[in-house]
Amino acid sequence: MIAKLETEKKAPKQGMLDNVMRQFDNAADIIELNTNIRKILEVTNNEIVVHFPVRMDNGEVEIFTGYRVQHNNSLGPYKGGLRYHPTVDIDAAKALAMWMTWKTSLAGLPYGGAKGGIQIDPTKYTNAELERITRRFTYALGDNIGPELDIPAPDVNTNPQTMAWILDTYMSTKSPAERSTNMHVVTGKPIGAGGSKGRDRATGYGVFLTIKFWAENHNIDLKDKKFIVQGFGNVGYWAAYFLVNEGAILTAVQDAYGCITNEKGIDVDKLLEYTQSNKGSILGFANAKKIDSSEFFSLDCDICIPAALGNQITAKNASKIKAYLIAEGANGPTDVDAEKILLKKGIDIIPDILCNSGGVIGSYFEWLQNRNGEIWSLEEVMEKLEKKMKESFTNVIETSKKRNVDMRTAAFVIAIERIEEAYTQRGIFP
């Protein structure tokens, strides 16, 4: 689960849609995107809103609102996560679905973009209630998801267990003869329920790889470089784990509960162990001191990894950032106005649609294994993931130099051009 943030309650929910549209318009202008294709990509294909009742442990019934937005499927089935969070609404889902379209296109995957979730604070419900909520949500979505139509995955506050519940519910709606052919309706499943080895660390490993590739490209040694991580969930932990193994030093972590720092370094595995016994919170960890969360982005470091929610780096705090590299582990953590400030300061940004694409690439590998009845080793998965990430990173760097644009713009250009080519070759029905 990606960690929640203390600051997220103050963050505007609608900001991400404005950001993704401005990013899209910028790249579309540069490549002089066909006006008809532009009209198609500016809107989502389908926006599904479901209201469904669930009986709570006390016998009372609550009504929940769930969303699934399907942006574009010109390259293949819709793909994207499901998040359980109070900020989930139709605009947030639209923005995230669009980012998924660009992300899968950039990675060269046969997918389109989707996103969804439930407007809920999962900490207020028991595990049994979350299971019933998840199963009822799956049933409400019905045939709007499917292994060759729309394939959900874990996101904020959802995990392999969530996916296992969705899988079981979805399969139970099919005839016995069809059930085993629907294993790939979701990815990010537990290993025993058809999941892939390496999927748990794929996103964080991808974040690490893009930082490593960037460092190699700039002739920088990661040994002894200081980095800070916002969000100590699945993505933040694994990114930190691999960076520390490379010799870098984790000096600060922020999560939903607060912020801790230690200039000499924070032990990643000990911190994970501590959070698992402390209701997910990093506060109180013995080998670090607590500081105010508002100080996080102004801390002295070389690399900053925002790995929680969107709109965390804004025009208000961008000027305080001391890192020379920002690696976006989260989706949309940097707003457009903040990015202008950062680029002017000479700070490089590895954009989310490249940086955290290891997750959807790992999901693609799981989908392939389920589809083909194969089981790959961890080494095989990690090797294929590195190769795919390297290819994407190289394409972005080359396009960035060729067009004299920043990495995000280059990534969007590649992604949009691939989709434009598909429409140009296939035509538009009727």
The answer to whether the annotation marks 387 as part of a ligand binding site is: no
For residues 102 and 388, the answer to whether their CB atoms sit within 8 Å is: no
Output the 3-class SS for the chain.
CECCCCHHHHCCCCHHHHHHHHHHHHHHHHCCCCHHHHHHHCCCCEEEEEEEEEECCCCCEEEEEEEEEEEECCCCCEEEEEEECCCCCHHHHHHHHHHHHHHHHHCCCCCEEEEEEECCCHHHCCHHHHHHHHHHHHHHHHHHCECCCEEEEECECCCHHHHHHHHHHHHHCCCHHHHHHHHHHCCCCCHHHCCCCCCCCHHHHHHHHHHHHHHHHCCCCCCCCEEEEECCCHHHHHHHHHHHHCCCEEEEEEECCEEEECCCCCCHHHHHHHHHCCCCCCCCCCCCEEECHHHHHHCCCCEEEECCCCCCECCCCHHHCCCCEEECCCCCCECHHHHHHHHHCCCEEECHHHHCCHHHHHHHHHHHHHHHCCCCCHHHHHHHHHHHHHHHHHHHHHHHHHHCCCHHHHHHHHHHHHHHHHHHHHCCCC
The answer to whether the annotation marks 363 as part of a ligand binding site is: yes
For residues 19 and 405, the answer to whether their CB atoms sit within 8 Å is: no
The answer to whether the annotation marks 203 as part of a ligand binding site is: yes
The answer to whether the annotation marks 234 as part of a ligand binding site is: yes
Dihedral of alpha carbons 72, 389, 81, 19, sign? negative
Q: Out of 4, 94, 115, 388, which one is annotated catalytic? A: 115
Respond yes or no: is residue 322 known to be catalytic.
no
Q: Which residues are annotated as a binding site?
A: 79, 103, 203, 234, 363
Catalytic positions are: 115
Q: Mark the binding-site residues for substrate, compressed into ranges.
A: 79, 103, 363
